[in-house]
Structure 1
Amino acid sequence: MAFLKNNFNFLLDKATSNLRLEPDWPTIIQICDLIRQGDVQPKYAVAAIKKKLASGNPHVAMFSLQVLESCVKNCGSLIHEEVGTKGYMELLRETVKTTTHENVKNKVLELLQTWAFAFRNSPKYRAVQDTVNIMKAEGYKFPTLKESDAMFSADTAPEWADGECCHRCRVLFGMVQRKHHCRACGQVFCGQCSSKSCTLPKFGIEREVRVCEACYEKVNK
């Protein structure tokens, strides 16, 4: 367990380094995978990202928000239940109030607006909508909801399935035949049946990742 946490922290440090010039999407995807596979508990992951957000360096804070955004879009209810709480909403609201960096403030407002729209029909995450309503009453201006973010409301990433054989060709997994997950449908496949790759903007994945044959054809229609 300690090794897995150390690995997660190493990846998070890498993804949020103030020396970066742009988001490290391969590393961000690895972070999401660790959470989805159950290698790192969502509570631990969200707490670690929270520490990065508290950094006085605006680059670290911005990259931490991008990691958080991808985790929310790509890890489903595992992360939603940690982020969509009154306590976490208060943290983000306080960040908007206290940050001196306009880009960090705007990114938090963007995320809050997106999540409020995405969870508008989920009573469990009522705290998100309540926080946005309170901040609007306080005079905060929220950005226009982007089309890709609006898609997220209906298209949250599927939970990862497990199995002893490929979902498509039924070959058994073993030492030689490794299992792979399709990032689009969550099913498990052999390497040959999941050899395609493409971007999945609706899940916050803007770099090409592994998908199965059927999902590849669906995405590229």
Structure 2
Amino acid sequence: MARVRVRQHVNPLSKAYQKPITPPNWQQIYAHPHQPLHLDIGCARGRLLQELAPQSPQWNFLGTEIRHPLVDEANRWRDEQELSNLHFLFCNINTSAAPLLQSLPENVLQCVSILFPDPWFKKRHQKRRMVQPSLVALLAQYLVSGGRVILASDVESVATQMWECFAAHPTFACESQQWLPENPLPTASEREIATLNKGEPVYRTVFVKK
């Protein structure tokens, strides 16, 4: 499949991304819609879930991404592989999290990953960052008890900001007070592989819903 070239960064606060999505009919998306669900927020090309879905047919996997061409590319690959437990959805999670999470079958959301989100280094741009208290509160509402949130970044200040947002919510407890030396997932994202190949650190942590 030809690799789609897209913009590296998209401003989630621009007017084009403010309309919440209409969630799909999950009965039509997944062969078994009541299986445990792993939600990967900001999945880019979806390579992580493309690795995980065939390995774990007893789970469903959903990737959300704000860059539409990447979603189209990922779903074409899904169709070619005939995977009925994998789907990719175009949306701005900060405007669409509520309708998306509300639409899911009850008690299926068991794992959420937010890996290497856009760092938005400039202080005036940090309100564009994906992890905000409002998103944390919604995940706390819909994640099952004992469900996990896996966070990672190659920018320590971004990882720290994500950690602080989840640590501030009374529903979540961090599994470790130090950055995790190993990936808690059985496979790595494209960004993690590239970062490690350059000899650079990855800052990882896991929160559990109490």
Q: How would you bin the TM-score normalised by the shorter chain?
A: 0.3 to 0.5
Question: What TM-score, normalized to structure 2?
Answer: 0.34
Structure showing greater relative contact order (alpha-carbon pairs closer than 8 Å, 6 or more residues apart): 2
Question: What TM-score, normalized to structure 1?
Answer: 0.33
Q: Which of the pair is proportionally richer in strand? A: 2
Q: Which of the pair is proportionally richer in helix? A: 1
- Larger C-alpha radius of gyration, 1 or 2? 1
